[in-house]
Amino acid sequence: MSTSVKRPRARKPIETTGPAMSHADHLLSLHTREQGKTVMYKQDAWGHVETRFVRTQNVPVWEAKGFTVR
């Protein structure tokens, strides 16, 4: 048998999680992040609806992709 030529892997650093947020705080942060954006939808053949929050100046580009404005 031959010996392995693989180098040992360096361990990944441990990621720390942020503070736990309540559901209401999470929704509030989402709403503030999406404020001023246009909500656009696209429905596929199976009835799944894809939602995108788009900057107003990018609406024509997303309409060309088949999305509609709410």
Structure tokens at 66: 């088949």
Residue 8 has pLDDT above 70, yes or no: yes
Return the pLDDT at 9.
Answer: 85
Q: How far apart are CA 24 and CA 19, in angstroms?
A: 14
Structure tokens at 37: 């954006």
How many Cβ atoms are within 10 Å of 59's Cβ, its own excluded? 15
Residues 13-27: what's their mean pLDDT?
A: 85
| pTM for the predicted model, two decimal places | 0.55
Residue 44 has pLDDT above 80, yes or no: yes
Q: What residue has token string 């559901």?
A: 23
